Amino acid sequence: MYLHGILREEIEVVGADNVVLMGLSQGCAASIIATMLWKGAPFGALVGMCGFLPFRLGMQDCIEETGDDDDDALVGFGNDDGDGKDVFERESENGEIGTRFEKVVGWLREELQMEDPGNQESESSALQSIPVFMGHGSDDEKVPSAFGKLANDFLKSLNVDVTWKEYGGLGHWYSKEMLRDVVCFLKEKKGWSESP
């Protein structure tokens, strides 16, 4: 995965704890997925702005029976018979062994037809060791704030440390207030301070 190559390069230069992966809109979606699939050392933080979580419904279905009628086009889809199941759903070949997070990552790797880079126990759930900030404008006309909130809630259900902030009157962009909150988040979570 391209983003993993960039992460490895930057980690080599500045160290894992000093790397923050940020994305806006589709960049947020790509950053979340890349971090879910990351098998390296946990890096500093993940910051997503005005984004969503692709494949959320498929991942949710792989860990529980939902019966959910949520069929929005950006985060998943249902079928016409009303049972809330994905028509392309497949059964796990490994008997569904592992934590909820491991099941989700396994499903995602299979869905994206990615090879597993190895089963290194200490690196199997890096996202659960990476603090996440998600900010979203309440008036986002491209990716409704509700989609960002669904991503936040799903990640929290996987024991990911997520901080969620919604910004009244903000559309599909960032603001000074959001950037200030990102800096405060990094200072709090990572103990970073102003440069001398």
CATH code linked to domain 2-132+144-190: 3.40.50.1820
How far is Cα 68 from Cα 46, in angstroms, rounded to an integer? 28
Residue with the larger pLDDT of the pair 117 and 165: 165
Determine how β-strand 20-24 pairs with β-strand 45-49.
parallel
For 140-182, the pLDDT digits (tens) are 999 999 999 999 999 999 999 999 999 999 999 999 999 999 9
One-letter identity of residue 116: D
For 72-97, the pLDDT digits (tens) are 434 443 333 444 444 334 444 444 45
What pLDDT is stored for residue 91 in this prediction? Answer: 44
pTM equals 0.78
